[in-house]
Every structure is written in C-alpha cells, then in structure tokens.
Structure 1
C-alpha cells in the first residue's frame, strides 16, 4: 500500500490531452508556488509532455515527467507506486482505463477520473470492490461535471435540510436552469463506445436501464424512480422540462452515494434530472425540439453505419475542444428542489464558472485529486469504489467553493427559479 512516503501527491495521467493540458495549467496557476502539493505529468509520449510543460512557462519548468504505455500493466504498476493519487483523463475508460484501475487497487493507490460510463464503472465495482477494501485503494470515478455538481448538490441540500428538520429530503429534483458549453470530444467518444457495447452485450443495456446499477452488491433495488426522459410541465420548478443528457450517469452516482452513506437520504429516496425549458408555448415547443434532437442523436448513434459516419465527420474527437474564449465564457446554474416526507420544500443552487465540460471540469477533478491526497484520511474514507460525495463530502465542497469557482447555496422557495 502506498503510504506517506510516496514521491508525489498526484500524477496527472494523460497530461498531453486537451483536458490534461487544462488540468496542468490549473495546477500551475493555483498551486505552482505551493511545495506541499507535489505532482507530476504522465503519459505515453515524452515529446508531447515536454511540449505541454514548455507551454506552462517558468512556473512549470521543473514539473517531473513520467512516461508509460496505458496497455502495459507492469509499467502502470511501477508508475502508480510513485504517487498517492492518480488523476487520469485517458478515455473512453472502458477501452483504456481498466488496467490502470487494477494497478491502483493492487497497490493501494488513490484514483480519480472523468468517467461517465456506467457500464464500465459497474465492471470496476464488481471486479475490484473487495480487493480495494483490503488494500486501502480509494477509487473515485465521475470527478468532473459528471457527476460532482449533481452528487455534491444533493449531498449539500440534504445536509442543510437535516440541520433544520432532522430529516432528509426524500425526493429531489435537479433542474438545469442555464448552461453554456459544449460536450467534450472525450464525452462523445465514451457515449459512442457505450452505444457499441449495448449493441454487442445485452447486459450493458440492462445496466443502463437500472437506476440502481451502480449500488453496492445486495443493494441494487429500491422504489421506482422518475422517468429518465421527461417531457412535461414541472409544477414544482414552474417550467417545461426536457431530458438532460448527463442524467443517465448522474442519477446512478447519486443513488450509489445514498447507499454508501447507509441511506442518508432514505431508503425510499427519489431523484431525477432535467433541463428547464421555460413556460408557456415557447417552453413547450423548446422542450419537444430538444427532446426530438436528443432522440434523433441516440437513434443515429445506436445504428452502426450512421454512428460511424457521425464519428468520422460530425462529432468532436477526443483531444478536441473549444477556444479559451469559449471556455472562459461558459457557466452552469443547477437548481435542486427537495421535498421531505412531511411535504416541506427546500431549494438549493449549485453554480460553476467556465464551460462545464472543459474549464470547470479541469478545476473540479484537480481539487478532487488534491482533496483525496491531502485532506481525506484513511480513517475517514477507507478502501473501496466510492463516489465524490461519499468519499470526500463537505471537505470537497469547501475546496470547490474556495478554489474552483463553484458555489453551493440555499434559497427561498419561489414562484420561479
């Protein structure tokens, strides 16, 4: 098990990729002069990593570089033993992440990633939960926009409500009030890979249909959850709502958190996510337009020939991303509407600066890695496959508010949000 004597606190694996570069830029700007945060850049190509390091200026000129092949299990084991936490951006994780997780589990090393692939996360839970508990490896997937704001948003809301009522919200709705920023090439690649897997393996389809598929073994059932594809008027949010593309992974992460925290939200907890589209005829038409577009994308992605055409000519590739100006101008505004068992309603809001898929995600996962390496002791969180909220909770909320441009706030119940 890797102990306090590890050479580094964090190795950024995949540092030469688009998001990897943003993470390195953030770490240099936020922690470049802080000797207590020891980190290194890792990846396959020495020359590409050196190019990234050169772009960081004088503050980054002494950052160590570690090279290795993601397909070489022995090399990965050697690399992970040098650090407390591996931060990896190399996806799709179902293709490139399994050996790295196995290496971290074997040697008791912490791990954070940007996975939004429920089918792969389920495989990692089934394959490594017991061993991780023994070795002390804290494995925390979903440490970007999917699914930290959702996971911590529900966690924060229920903690605040418990202080007032001594009971949690047993029903929470997350509604995307506003958001500016496109899906990352890596996210699109993961979605396409997931569609391919669903076509080959019916068990993958079952995982994607089951709202409790990421829960611990033996706890994979519960009350019927709300529809994952809502097209309706939400009286609580006072708006028409449409499906939110990240809901598929976010809702399962939130349900796993509830189970890992010994059902802190209650065994009958209900949770769903949707986009707020506005009121009246305009809102209704916008709802049907977005739902139709999303349905068309899913249908095309599910069919091999059109999926291949989309991948080749229409969709962003892994490693591609928006300009700095586009990233800087991005943001998100998420509303959480919670109801207790005695019908009291509470509202909270989570906001983030910069675009969700790149600028904000780079900051979020960086703070997740530092929090796991520096703040969370093994007594607080032992080995296992965790969620961000279950593993790091309030300490991560504090870090994100202090450093990463996120806010978590309670609000008054209102006629509109």
Structure 2
C-alpha cells in the first residue's frame, strides 16, 4: 500500500466518522435514556401510584417483549426502506410514547405504555449496527461501534446530572417531578428525528460529502470484506440456525437481562447501600457513566488493534460477575461506590465488544436479520429478569437474593464465549 493509498484511507474514514457517528451517538443516547429513565422516576412514581416492586419490575420488563417481537420485522423494513427514513420514524414514535408515560395512573396503563415504548423503539439498535457495516470496513468496526455505543454510558451521565433538577420541578404547572423528568427526556428523540432525515445518507453512494475517489475506495473495500466472509446463504434466515449465532443469542440473554434488572433499581440500591441522598446518587450514576464510556472506548480500540473479539468479550463478562459478587456481600459504602464504578466500566466494555462478533460468523447480507435476532431473542431476558427481580424483592423485602444470582448469569455467558472462541480456532 502506497502512502497515497494510506492517506486516502485515513481521510475517507475520518470524514465518514465525523459525519455519521456524532449524530448516531445522540440518537442512541436519547434511546437509552428513554428506556431506563424510569429508574430515577421510580421512587416517587411508585409511591404516588401505589406500584409494588413486582408491578414495577413486570412493567419495566414488558418493554423488551414488544421490542423482541418487532426487532426482525423492523430491521427488514430498514433494509428495504433505507436507514434515514426508518430510523427517523422509530425516533418520532418512541419519543412521543416516552413522553406519554407521564400520563399513566394505573398499573395496566403503565404496562401498556412500556409495551408500546418497546414496540416503537424496536429495530433502532440493530439497525444502527447494520447501517455501520455499510460504511466501515471490518478492521474499523470495533472503533466505530464503540464510539456510537458509548452513548449508553453517557446517557447515565446525562440522567444522573439532570434527574435531580427535573425531579425538583415537583408541583410546577400541576405536574409531579417524575412527570417532568419523563416529558423532558422524551422530547429530544422527536427533535433528533428531523435531523436524521436531513443529514443521514443511506449508503456511501448517497454521500455528497465524499469525494469520488473516497467513495470508490470505500465501496471497493467494503465489497472486499464481504467477499472475504464467503458466499451468502440463499436465505438470510438460514444464518440464524448456525450454532455460533444461537450461542450469541444465549450470551445476549445472560448479560442483558440481569443488567437491566439491576439498573432499573440501581438508584434505590445505591441509596440504601451508601446512605446518599437522591441528588448524590445521581452524581454517582453519572460517574458510572463516565467509567462505562472509558471501558467501552478502550475495548473497541484494543479489539481492533489486536484483531481479536472473543477474549475481549469473555474477560469483561467475568469481571462484571466478580463486581456483582462483591456487591451482594454487602460491603462498606465506599467499597460499594468503587465496585459500582468498576462494574459499569466492565459492563459497557461487554456491550462494546458483543456486537463485533456477528460480522465474524455471518455474511453481511445476513447481518440485518442476524443482529436483530440476537438482540431481540436476547431481550427476552430483559423481560424475565426484571420481573423475577421484582417478585424476589416483594417476597424477601430486599435486593440481596437478586444480587447473589447476577454473577452466575455473567459467568455462564463468559463460559459460552470461551466455547465459541475454541470452536472458531478449530475451524
């Protein structure tokens, strides 16, 4: 490769990254924030509406049932309609539904809105993963995915920083503080949808901001990567039957569900374990978002640099299990805070590496369906674990039982990943 070729590669990918990733990151930040902001609303919302832990856990998990059901159809529609219009459609509907959460008064209304929120958001995350595979060669996808996915921990920073102020608006215009929080954090998605429509091209061929030689280089490189994976299956759905894909579904199930069970109650758990007030718990959650962003950025950089995916997934899974085991032991408040920050770094490192593995085992033609299937079927755990977590809380009066079971799930996921690594090396 000549110096001219190297400069063309760098300039092309630099331009693509700056044009696409900040916008996509903002979209996912809004998505993640609207998914879990009820964790900050829960203490006052549950008290005022009379929701038990079982009601809250069941409603919190219902989001993921409709999300899972519509994930694959949504991604098929995205591939047919184009990312620009379909992602914007998703954002408008989920933003409006998220704001409507402020209107709930009964447990059944809570269940309905959470179910509709999952249906509205279905397809956004796997759609973005598929979209980035159209723009970034495989050697750069780790950095690209981690830079957009870093919005998830940064959402914790935003929520932790503003939750106290929004909850402090209690009584303004006749609204409770938790209602202000849900409305204010749902509106950005609707606004961003119109930005997506204007600035997000569907493919490199539609990018007027790429020079002709940059566009030609990028399309040639992506085509070469696609050819290196091998011939596509006749049917996109045939890829879903591969043992590696089934294993990734199990990994997603075992790491997503337990984390959402924890995170939907995290402010309450941290408040009880540390004695901090609501505002300082928010700052702690925000600090966890920062360590999570660092962990995610590091894992994407390291995975691309070493050209290795499996250990970069298994090791953080094992470390998360260790962190939850320590939290379950009920350590001193200072230890709880330190371990929480470490857990967030390791957990989001898992998220940063999880979505690098599908491109290792399936053809890009099947990526849209495969990523959607892994995400949607794995999301079933995000319904089951929060629900069972709430039942355990009501039966035992505390979170200890739930915390003691979380390490088992993460260790099991790590074992599956190591089995995948062994099978891949044999192949």
Higher helix proportion: 2
- Asked which structure has the greater RCO (Cα within 8 Å, sep 6+), the reply is 2
Same fold (TM over 0.5): no
Short-chain TM bin: under 0.3
TM-score by length of 2: 0.25
Give the TM-score normalised by the residue count of structure 1: 0.26
